[in-house]
């Protein structure tokens, strides 16, 4: 993209500010969301690690309904038919084991790390 001189000067001035403000890890802006796919009676990825404040979205791509239920009752979805989604925002650090209450042999884990700390890549 061709910038006219004044705009280029502006970009040159602003860019260092942006680079300074951005996290050191080259993560996309959606760093506070995570997706889990439900298919073939499995949660994939089965184990995820996120920072506190992350919103996790489960999407049921299976041809049978499933649910997302925390072992220690921190969260519980309604029944999810094919293409239904469930989201939960993890605000507190900890390890959250969960399972599908229809098919309890389906299990998953969300490890939530504290939000504080440097922006080092996980």
Partner 1 sequence: MTSSNDHGEGLSRRKVLECMTWAGTGVLWTVAGGVPKSLGLVGEANAQTAGFTFLQISDSHVGFDKPANPNALGTLEEAVNKIKAEKTKPAFLIHTGDIAHLSKPSEFDDAERVISQAKLDVHYVPGEHDVIDEDTGKLYMERFGKGTKGQGWYSFDANGVHFVGLVNVMDLKGGGMGNLGNEQLAWLENDLKGRSASTPIVLFAHIPLWVVYKEWGWGTEDGERALGMIKRFGSVTVLNGHIHQIIQKVEGNVAFHTARSTAFLQPAPGTAPSPGPLKVEDAKLRTVLGTASISVVPGNQRLAIVDTPLVG
Contacts to partner 1 by CB under 8 A: 40-42, 62-65, 67, 69, 71, 78-79, 81-82, 97-99, 101-105, 107
Q: Shortest gap between Cβ of 41 and partner 1 (angstroms)?
A: 4
8 A C-beta contact, residue 103 and residue 82: no
Task: Name the residue nearer to partner 1 (CB basis): 58 or 99.
Answer: 99
Q: How far is the CA of 42 from the CAs of 4, 58, 73, 81, 94, in angstroms? A: 53, 11, 20, 15, 22
Judge contact between 38 and 63, C-beta under 8 A: no
State in angstroms the smallest separation of the CB of 16 from partner 1. Answer: 49
Query: Based on CB atoms, which residue is closest to partner 1, 7 or 85?
Result: 85
């Amino acid at each position: 993209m061709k910038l006219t001189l004044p705009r280029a000067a502006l970009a040159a001035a602003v860019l260092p500010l942006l680079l300074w403000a951005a996290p050191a890890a080259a993560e996309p802006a959606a760093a506070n969301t995570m997706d889990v796919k439900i298919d073939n009676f499995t949660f994939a990825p089965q184990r995820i690690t996120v920072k506190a404040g992350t919103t996790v979205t489960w999407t049921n791509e299976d041809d049978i309904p499933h649910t997302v239920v925390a072992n220690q009752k921190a969260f519980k979805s309604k029944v999810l038919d094919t293409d239904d989604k469930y989201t939960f925002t993890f605000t507190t650090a900890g390890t959250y084991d969960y399972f599908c209450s229809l098919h309890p042999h389906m299990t998953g884990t969300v490890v939530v790390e504290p939000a504080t700390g440097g922006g080092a890549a996980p």
